Amino acid sequence: MDTGSILVPLWISFKLAAATTVMLLALGAFLAYLLAYRKVPARPVVESLINLPIALPPTVLGFYLLILMGPKGAFGKAWEGLFNSTLLFTFTGIVIASVFYSLPFAVQPLKAAFLKIDRRILENAYVLGLSPVKAFFRVIVPNSAVGFAAAAILVFLHTMGEFGVILMVGGSVPGETRVASIAIYEAVESLRYRDAWVLSVVLALVSFSFLLVVNALNRGEGNGING
Amino acid sequence: MALTAEIRKRLSHFTLDVSIACPKGRILSIVGPSGSGKTTILRIIAGLDAPDEGVVVCGERVWLDTGGRVALPTQKRRLAMVFQDFVLFPHCSVFKNVCFAARDKSLAEALMKRFDIWHLRDSRPQSVSGGERQRAAICQALAREPEVLLMDEPFSALDPLTRRRLREAVADMKGELGIPIIHVTHDIREALFLGDEIVPVVQGRVFHKWLLQFMLTARDADLCRERAAMDNEGDVELELYNKRRGY
Amino acid sequence: MIRVGVVLGLIFICALPAGASDEKVLAGVAANFMMPFQEMAAAFEKESGIHVESVFTSTGKLYAQIRNGAPYDIFLAADEERPELLFRDGLSGKPFVYAMGEVVLWSADRDFCARFADWEEAVRSNEVKRLAIANPESAPYGAAAVSALKASGLFDSLQAKYVFPQDIGQTFQYASTGAVQAGFCALSSAVTDQGKEGCYYTITQAPKVTQAACVLTRTNNREAAEKFAAFLLTPAGIQIKEKYGYR
């Protein structure tokens, strides 16, 4: 049993989940803000697009992303023009793919949390002289902490367990895009059942501990919020 | 620094069409039955709603002019608003709430001491009483050093004793604040007590006759007596009403 | 009397086997052999009346399924190792070779093969930024490719270029969508209509991929399965597989 082949994929999975969570909290908050507080043109279309990753099978999503991010696709070409390197089969590539894959899991809880905030509190903030941006950080965010926590948990766990999309877009490059879920799959395929078993247990434990920690934080916070 | 507002807006059951002016240091009470558009007037002055046509001017600054395409956003209008339901921020302590838009923390402290809530400064809004919360809301508004103070049924949700206390506190302050205060209520007594000028608004229009009917009921004597007990410049208005009643 | 007759008749009909269990074979087939297999299955059905159902996926997955009791009657692997393991543990009959496959370097770009002298020059060139190899631990075609790379001394120096799709089908998909400039695919993919839109280099250093099959011990359709196993090696069967580049 090679600890390298166990620790490295776990570390990549963790890095991927952390990076995706951070990016999606920002992007998700932005989209949720627009959907909750602004007039959005063709709103049903926009909302359906955001929710699409839930409806599509991961292999289909992975396939579309493969085309888009490949050297002939719109994203891939733009990226290559800007950074002179390919997007597919890189860690950056799978972070971007994960952001798409988990987008609705960030936007939905945040939108729900934002909508729960009493509008008059926001109006009071504007009356007191806060710009929309300041009001967002000083009023909306503190009063939707539960939403942020929920979004963070969902996105993190969803990404830890991601398989099909990362397989397609990542190409299972060892040390770069071979995440724990893929390593488990490959271990089974190559009859290395013990490796598969160890990886699975560790993955489950890590996810479970994360859930416990965040839940505890959430409960502590919950006492002072939204009276 | 007076505030003037001319507003026209189509609402669901009638058209709102009013014109008001409030000089500094005076209180203008807009009174009328529920649903007559009073709150909408305040919201338009605050910039939270927009009229179909209208002009709002504070001192020399044009806050809104639909004709001239001027519409200053809410945050740029230096005003403060006290709502009926004490809209304090639940995630901050009372002190932090009052300081929220204050330039000067010592002013916030002074206000809180004056309104006798300084001892609650570290409590959360959820854990203090309704009257205390409303006092905090008033402090929050005044700590902003606004050029105009708007009050939307600020005392309706309070018990009669607290209501009277706060009314008196506000009436006491109006001279030293030196700003126009526009106050909306459905309570005639409150309007008579606080208002230097009273504007009855019924179904979107100024309708003085509506007030007269209250003047003719049995309560009038009490109201007049209360009004006379006040020491302010509003007695001229009372004379006018008395004349209308035929006294 | 008639009622009894009807009831008895219904029972009799229900008791009839719905297509005798001997007339069906469930095959677990390595994904690369899908096209020839489908043709063979059709031909076999016409000849013998036995219906062949199949599942196409990677050899590794099929093996894991069989070990855990999957109800296949016959297993067509892409290697010799896994049927051998099953045989040793008593889970199958003696394996036999049913096809020899070949790994080639395929590119979707038709002019690709004109630009380099051989496959080694191609993979070394800067034009090939990414090279797809089916995961060698579980895909025999990938393992053959790795053998060839090692034999040419290129394996280590090209590490930065490799991507490892899970099976030979995904390898072809990567190459055909242009995600990689070239991939180590099965010859059988290269000779399909889609494969013919690109081009391929033969790889002399690569060992042939010996594909073995075995009839599983727990089959309920032993006779039918063995008939099909025999069919694979008849001239009719051989002709079909050669059409797809197998020997």
The CATH number of whichever domain residue B187 belongs to comes to 3.40.50.300
- Give the model's pLDDT for residue B232: 39
d(CA A92, CA A193): 30
Q: What angle, 0 to 180 degrees and rounded to 10, lies between the N-to-C axes of helices A3-37 and A43-55?
A: 160
- Give the model's pLDDT for residue A2: 67
B123/B182 same-domain check: no
d(CA B4, CA B8): 14
- Give the model's pLDDT for residue A225: 43
**Using 50, 70 and 90 to split pLDDT, how confident is the model at B158?**
confident
B72/B24 same-domain check: yes
- Give the model's pLDDT for residue C218: 87
B155/B232 same-domain check: yes
C137/C214 same-domain check: no
What residues contact residue C74 under an 8 Å CB cut-off, 6+ apart?
C25, C26, C27, C28, C213, C214, C215, C216, C219, C225, C228, C229
**Using 50, 70 and 90 to split pLDDT, how confident is the model at B238?**
low
Is residue B19 a part of any domain in this protein?
Answer: yes
- Give the model's pLDDT for residue C145: 95
- Give the model's pLDDT for residue A92: 93
**Using 50, 70 and 90 to split pLDDT, how confident is the model at A212?**
confident
Phi-psi region for residue C154, left (φ > 0), alpha (ψ -120 to 50) or beta? alpha
Task: Name the minimum distance, in Å, from the CA of A191 to any CA of chain C.
Answer: 8
Flag if B91 and A121 touch (Cβ within 8 Å). Answer: no
Is the per-residue pLDDT at C66 higher than 90?
Answer: yes
d(CA A167, CA C123): 23
- Give the model's pLDDT for residue A207: 82
Q: Compute how many other C-beta atoms are within 10 angstroms of the C-beta atom of residue C18.
A: 6
How many residues does this entry show for chain B? 247
B137/B187 same-domain check: no
What are the structure tokens assigned to A182, written together? Answer: 């893929």
B153/B235 same-domain check: yes
Flag if A171 and C165 touch (Cβ within 8 Å). Answer: yes
Is residue B206 a part of any domain in this protein?
Answer: yes
Q: What is the CATH number of the domain that holds C239?
A: 3.40.190.10
pLDDT single digits (tens) B123-146: 899 898 888 899 999 999 999 999
C84/C108 same-domain check: no
Tell me what the pLDDT averaged over chain C comes to: 89
Chain B interface, best mutation among A121, A124, A139, by max B CB count within 10 A? A124
A 183-212: CB under 8 A from C: 185-186, 188-192
- Give the model's pLDDT for residue A51: 93
- Give the model's pLDDT for residue C14: 58
B86/B47 same-domain check: no
For chain C, state the CA radius of gyration: 22
C194/C213 same-domain check: no
CB-CB neighbors (< 8 A) of C78 in chain A: none
Range of the domain at B64: 3-78+149-162+178-245
pTM of the model: 0.79
CB-CB neighbors (< 8 A) of C130 in chain A: 86, 88-89, 171
pLDDT single digits (tens) A25-80: 999 999 999 999 988 889 899 999 999 998 899 889 999 999 999 888 888 889 88
Is the per-residue pLDDT at B223 higher than 60?
Answer: no
Of B93, B101, B90, give the one whose Cα is nearest residue B118: B93
**Using 50, 70 and 90 to split pLDDT, how confident is the model at C219?**
confident
Is residue C14 a part of any domain in this protein?
Answer: no
Helix (H, G, I), strand (E, B) or coil at B187: coil
User: What are residue B81's DSSP bridge partners?
Assistant: B150
B49/B121 same-domain check: no
C107/C162 same-domain check: yes
C110/C190 same-domain check: yes
Of A92, A66, A74, A187, give the one whose Cα is nearest residue C171: A66
What are the structure tokens assigned to A211, written together? Answer: 């859930």
| Chain C residue with minimum CA distance to A68 | C179
Do B and C touch, 3+ Cβ pairs within 8 Å? The answer is no
pLDDT single digits (tens) A74-110: 888 898 888 888 889 999 999 999 999 999 999 999 9
Is residue C11 a part of any domain in this protein?
Answer: no
| Average pLDDT estimate for A136-150 | 92
- Give the model's pLDDT for residue B212: 59
Does B63 touch chain A if contact means CB atoms closer than 8 Å? no
The number of distinct structural domains making up chain B is 2
CB-CB neighbors (< 8 A) of C158 in chain A: none
Is residue C16 a part of any domain in this protein?
Answer: no
Chain B interface, best mutation among A37, A126, A128, by max B CB count within 10 A? A128
C198/C223 same-domain check: no
Q: Which of B95, B120, B145 delimits the end of a domain?
A: B145
B127/B197 same-domain check: no
pLDDT single digits (tens) C89-103: 999 999 999 999 999
| Chain A residue with minimum CA distance to B45 | A127
Do C and A touch, 3+ Cβ pairs within 8 Å? The answer is yes
pLDDT single digits (tens) C5-37: 777 767 766 555 544 445 789 999 998 898 899
Is residue B39 a part of any domain in this protein?
Answer: yes
State the amino acid at position B86 in one-letter form: F
- Give the model's pLDDT for residue C15: 57
B57/B155 same-domain check: yes
C94/C215 same-domain check: yes
Chain C interface, best mutation among A88, A166, A179, A188, by max C CB count within 10 A? A88
Q: Percent of chain A scored above 70 by pLDDT?
A: 95
B24/B117 same-domain check: no
Flag if C135 and A172 touch (Cβ within 8 Å). Answer: yes
| Average pLDDT estimate for B39-60 | 92
| Chain A residue with minimum CA distance to B96 | A138
C 177-196: CB under 8 A from A: 177-179
C27/C51 same-domain check: yes
C96/C109 same-domain check: no
| Chain A residue with minimum CA distance to B79 | A127
Is residue C118 a part of any domain in this protein?
Answer: yes
- The CATH architecture assigned to A3-221 reads Orthogonal Bundle (1.10)
Of B72, B140, B146, give the one whose Cα is nearest residue B111: B140
Does A163 touch chain C if contact means CB atoms closer than 8 Å? no
Task: Name the minimum distance, in Å, from the CA of A227 to any CA of chain C.
Answer: 52
**Using 50, 70 and 90 to split pLDDT, how confident is the model at B225?**
very low
- Whole-number Cα distances in Å, A26 to A139, A222, B138: 16, 22, 35
Buried b (16+ CB within 10 A) or exposed e, C171-196: bbbbbbbbbbbbbbbbbbbbbeeebe
B185/B231 same-domain check: yes
Number of A–B residue contacts, CB under 8 Å: 61
Range of the domain at C171: 103-202
C169/C233 same-domain check: no
d(CA C244, CA C247): 9
C173/C223 same-domain check: no
- Give the model's pLDDT for residue B1: 77
- Which of A120-129, B156-165, C10-19 has the largest mean confidence? A120-129
The number of distinct structural domains making up chain C is 2
Is residue B229 a part of any domain in this protein?
Answer: yes
Phi-psi region for residue A42, left (φ > 0), alpha (ψ -120 to 50) or beta? left
Among the partner-chain residues C63, C132, C166, the one whose CB lies closest to the CB of A167 is: C166
- Give the model's pLDDT for residue A227: 36
Tell me what the pLDDT averaged over chain B comes to: 82
C189/C216 same-domain check: no
d(CA C128, CA C158): 10
